[in-house]
Structure 1
Amino acid sequence: MPLDQTRTEPSTTEEARRQIEICNACRYCEGYCSVFPAITLQRSFSDGDITQLANLCHNCRGCYYACQYTEPHEFAINLPKILAEARAESWERFAWPGAFAGLFQRSGVAVAVALAAGFALLFWAGQVFRPESGAGFYAFLSHSVMVAIFTPAFLLPLLAIALGLRAYWREIGGGPVRLAHLKRAFSEAAKLKDLSGGAAGGCNFEKEDRYTNVRRWHHQAVMYGFLLCFASTTSATVLHYVFDMPAPYGLFSLPKLLGIPGGLLLTLGGLGMAVLKTRGEKGLGAPALWGGEMAFVLLLSFTGASGLALYAATGMALVGWLLPLHLGAVLAFFLTAPYTKMVHGFFRMAALVRNAQVQE
């Protein structure tokens, strides 16, 4: 009987394992980022090890351009791509509820536009029931209604992300976390160390012979912009409930001093990241997820920009139109967070904590 000539394609995890084992034998890129020193600590790699390395990777792509074993070499190494695919698969595997896994990644633009526009329309229609009294935004939508909508919209996604992180921690074999682990992980995350390119002096995300820190700066702008906006909302909550000082707040109040620069950083950083994505080579990431990643970045930028526009329009009739747009974008952002690339920040932080454990 003739031999069966059919051959099944390796899974993403199997292909990632093959390439990582070749990298472990070569070790040319050991100084590039945290992935390669982590690889050298082991001789064999479990599925959990692959998941950990994939989430430790920041897709700066310097290793690809330095590698002598990329195509047309028979080894066909493309570590940024295979780790991006393994990373995305891990997010889908750990997503809760699982029914939503992959939805945004594969149809991100449509989902983001539909949710943001749909929620904006509902908020606009809800102004029919505007309160009889109220200042600022609360003249269009009462504080109690905002709290009733956004509290569960914030807490439920956090619960979903926490459940995913628990599953991730189990799969990678994470142990008890000590303060030293957290300190090192937060320090590396704050500096975005693994986007600095290590010895190379930056990423070459855009072009193989151009090493720059531009992508790192845009990521930092988005990260710190988001944190400032979150701090602004938190400070407003404290002022409202602890000090009985409800909104609206003046230009030199803490919510505005945090929120305005936060919105600017979020908007400009997000737009910069979007431009970089159009310049980067799609074949060095997960091509099927490119649209979802772009939709996430643009949703972030629109959230920041609409917030700034809303503040600039304070006291004008335009607020009645801008407020639903901004609230719709914020609500869409919160509800999709466990299923968009927003979740990568949580998993990469967990990966950095685990890396701190194994490096000690």
Structure 2
Amino acid sequence: MQTDLLQEARRQAEICNACRYCEGYCSVFPALHQERFFTDANLTQLANLCHNCRGCYYACQYTAPHEFDLNLPKALAEVRQDSWESLAWPAPVARRFQKSGVMIALATILGFALLFLAFRALGSAGGDGFYAVLSHSAMVAIFLPAFLFPLASIAVSLRRYWTETGGTTIALKEIVDAFGSAAKMKNLAGGHGDGCNFEDEDRFSQARRHAHQAVMYGFLLCFASTSAGTLLHYVFDMPAPYPLWSLPKLLGIPGGILMVIGTVMLASLKLKADRSLGAAANWGGEMGFILLLFLVALSGLALYALGSTAAMPTLLAIHLGSVLSFFLLTPYTKMAHGFYRLTALIRDEQRKSAG
């Protein structure tokens, strides 16, 4: 990890530890105030606990033009981003995506979509519905490795993170408490439950929390939809396409709508927010990830609406290209942030237990 980023975060953490004005703001400060000296591992853990809500910055008396020039949200955001890049496997891909995320996402989607259209041009697969464009066996052959690769990559990254931060054997209660905190997006509610100041220093808002919840629960519904379709296909011998009132569509349609709403909200909030309070150099990567999720959801909904029209092959190619790009880029996008955040919350539960 970059020494200069860690040194600056250490300087700021030491000042915050002496001040303690923000003690109740989020889970970062109880963890920070427990330390007397800040190792690289401490700072990496604190950075991944931080949700960049920025309430501490706007409350701080030591921000510029004070000589201390504190900007803890930015310092932790840069350490956090650097930790994802350093611990990612393989790391060079992560760094490249953070610099040019939007262009890489669009180029990857377009490339895969053209590839799927080329398959279509070679002739019908001979099945029904979507399988007339690309056979079920071809979809499995393409998407199964693309699904397993990010899981393996993220598993390697999280193992490195756990070792880096001194994690020990996990108790069931620690997992349950961490999942509970993640499910409620507890830390995005602010220290007093009023929300955070992400887009406006004078206004507390739950908008960012709700946007994250919409994306998270929308994604989980879409994943459940895909899982239901897999069970229907392999266990009950009921291949797609499925009717409107089937389980895959009852889960997938609201999931897709939630993801579209959530990603639009996130993009809007990021455009309003002050970039100098985050990892500004990685803004493109964050927007690239939001765009990727948006296109996955929107193209899926378009397929539901227009799947029986002449537009279906083109829409299917765009959707499959988006999904394949999402899977392959997951370890290097902000999607990995969710896994790191959950791991950091589990690690924080261990701190509480030890204390």
Q: TM-score range by the shorter chain?
A: over 0.9
Alignment root-mean-square deviation, CA: 1.1
CA–CA distance in 1 between the matches of 2:235 and 2:300?
24
Q: Are 2:125 and 2:133, in contact at CA under 8 Å, matched by a contact in 1?
A: no
Q: Which amino acid aligns with 2:224?
A: A
For residues 268-307 of structure 1, give each alpha carbon's deviation from its aligned partner in whole angstroms, at most 9, with x where no partner exists: 1001100000000000001101111011101111110010
Alignment match of 1:206 (pick from 180, 199, 203): 199
Q: Which amino acid aligns with 2:154?
A: I
Alignment match of 1:345 (pick from 326, 338, 349): 338
For residues 294-348 of structure 1, give each alpha carbon's deviation from its aligned partner in whole angstroms, at most 9, with x where no partner exists: 1110111111001000110121111011000011011111111111111100000
Is it true that 1:281 corresponds to 2:243 in the alignment?
Answer: no
Deviation at 1:45, TM superposition (A): 1.1
CA–CA distance in 2 between the matches of 1:200 and 1:185?
18
Q: What SS class does the counterpart of residue 267 from structure 1 fall into?
A: helix
Q: Are 1:60 and 1:205, in contact at CA under 8 Å, matched by a contact in 2?
A: yes
Q: What SS class does the counterpart of residue 192 from structure 2 fall into?
A: helix
Is it true that 1:324 corresponds to 2:317 in the alignment?
Answer: yes
Alignment of 1:29-178 (within 5 A): 29-131=22-124, 133-178=126-171
Q: Which amino acid aligns with 2:330?
A: A
CA–CA distance in 2 between the matches of 1:229 and 1:244?
21
Q: Are 2:74 and 2:276, in contact at CA under 8 Å, matched by a contact in 1?
A: yes
Quote the residue 1:19 is aligned against: 12
Deviation at 1:200, TM superposition (A): 5.8
CA–CA distance in 2 between the matches of 1:173 and 1:222?
31
CA–CA distance in 2 between the matches of 1:39 and 1:50?
9
Deviation at 1:132, TM superposition (A): 5.0
CA–CA distance in 2 between the matches of 1:200 and 1:285?
22
Quote the residue 1:3 is aligned against: none
Query: Unaligned 5+ residue runs, structure 2?
Result: none
Tell me the matched-pair count: 352
Q: Which amino acid aligns with 2:177?
A: R
Deviation at 1:100, TM superposition (A): 1.2
TM-score after normalising by structure 2: 0.97
The runs of 4+ residues in structure 1 deviating greater than 6 Å are: none
CA–CA distance in 2 between the matches of 1:246 and 1:271?
33
Q: Which amino acid aligns with 1:250?
A: P
Query: Unaligned 5+ residue runs, structure 1?
Result: 1-8
CA–CA distance in 2 between the matches of 1:216 and 1:341?
16
Q: Which amino acid aligns with 2:188?
A: L
Q: Are 1:226 and 1:262, in contact at CA under 8 Å, matched by a contact in 2?
A: yes
Q: Which amino acid aligns with 1:272?
A: M
Alignment of 1:198-347 (within 5 A): 198-199=191-192, 201-347=194-340
Q: Are 1:130 and 1:141, in contact at CA under 8 Å, matched by a contact in 2?
A: no
Quote the residue 1:180 is aligned against: 173
Q: Which amino acid aligns with 2:239?
A: P
